[in-house]
A and B are shown apart, each in its own frame.
Chain A
């Protein structure tokens, strides 16, 4: 998993920075973005192996980010973070090409498991 790079995207900065720290402690290099625009800039500058993306964000929504990623970086799998109140958006996100989704609050082991499965299945996927 040291070969991976993960990009976490969520407008809740405390959530995303704490989660990133936990992933980094587990040897998974993780960077963060708190807006859709920042996420797209970071992906263009240094493409991660997977993007974990909150569905509901102010400004550019998670679904807009997802569509842009699918168009410009189709090889990067996108895992959605969903909450109550965003079920319909999550279903739409799955139809738009997200590989899977997780409900917040999440279990870190479950997140790692889903990321691992997605990265391994992705075109040119990285082996663990």
Chain B
């Protein structure tokens, strides 16, 4: 990444991180306001009135959406800090979880579910966190164009011997043969662009579509 691109990424990250902090303040106010409504309702003489149940349901929805918003803001904040330190030691359990959650919308539009099978131990890699996320999001994007609706794409990071790390993308229920040139095109290049990172992309037959091995 050249200096000007790195500066642009750092600028985007700094602004996004600041905004996510403000978003969490907004969500904290909404949460406390919903909590106060709940408290007032609990103290109300009419708490057995039919409207009471509806209010309780609405308050519960608000609180659930606040939790969802907090989770998204937290992950967006972590993403925004990706350009801060490069290279950095990255735990792929955490990074893939973050990528998965931030890509949920793209998957939902295709009616595909994304999931990760984390390992009990950290699966660490010294790499460029931003480039790694670009690589994984690109892998997800390509698979979303190829897999049928209604399936789940699983990602699994595994620590191999001799310092290698493998990430497998597989989907149960997929019948299509992968259009390999489309799937592979440009991914090797993207992998090679990650600072201090060496690896290979291996294509497979469904359900195992793609394996990335970091040397």
Q: List chain A positions with a Cβ less than 8 A from chain B.
A: 12, 14-15, 18-19, 21-22, 25, 56, 83-86, 104-106, 108
Inter-subunit contact A104/B36 (CB<8 Å): no
Inter-subunit contact B33/A85 (CB<8 Å): no
The distance from the CB of B67 to the nearest CB of chain A, in whole angstroms, is: 9
Return the chain B residue nearest A106 by Cβ: B28
Specify which of A14, A22, A84, A108 is in contact with B20 (CB 8 Å cutoff).
Answer: A84
Specify which of B25, B33, B35, B77 is in contact with A108 (CB 8 Å cutoff).
Answer: B35
Interface residues on B, range: 20 to 34
Q: Which of B29-43 contact A (CB under 8 A)?
A: 29, 31-33, 35-36, 39-40, 43
Inter-subunit contact A18/B32 (CB<8 Å): yes
Bound-complex Cα distance A56 to B31 (A): 19
Bound-complex Cα distance A109 to B36 (A): 13
Contact with A along B73-91 (1 / 0, CB 8 A): 1100100000000000000
Return the chain B residue nearest A11 by Cβ: B25
Given contacts A25-B43, A84-B74, A105-B31, contact A15 B25 (CB under 8 A): yes
Bound-complex Cα distance A108 to B42 (A): 15
Inter-subunit contact A25/B66 (CB<8 Å): no
B residues near A56, Cβ cutoff 8 Å: 21
The distance from the CB of B17 to the nearest CB of chain A, in whole angstroms, is: 6
Beyond contacts A15-B28, A83-B28, A105-B32: 13 other A-B pairs, Cβ-Cβ < 8 A, are A12-B25, A12-B28, A12-B29, A18-B36, A19-B32, A21-B36, A22-B39, A83-B25, A84-B73, A85-B18, A85-B77, A86-B21, A106-B28
The distance from the CB of B33 to the nearest CB of chain A, in whole angstroms, is: 6
Max count, chain B CB within 10 A of own CB: residue among A21, A25, A105, A106:
A105
Any A CB within 8 A of the CB of B101: no
A residues near B28, Cβ cutoff 8 Å: 12, 15, 83, 104-106
Inter-subunit contact B24/A83 (CB<8 Å): yes
Inter-subunit contact B35/A104 (CB<8 Å): no
Bound-complex Cα distance A15 to B26 (A): 8
Inter-subunit contact A14/B21 (CB<8 Å): no
Return the chain B residue nearest A81 by Cβ: B28
Bound-complex Cα distance A46 to B126 (A): 53
Inter-subunit contact B66/A85 (CB<8 Å): no
Given contacts A18-B29, A84-B74, contact A105 B24 (CB under 8 A): yes
Any A CB within 8 A of the CB of B174: no
Bound-complex Cα distance A85 to B16 (A): 11
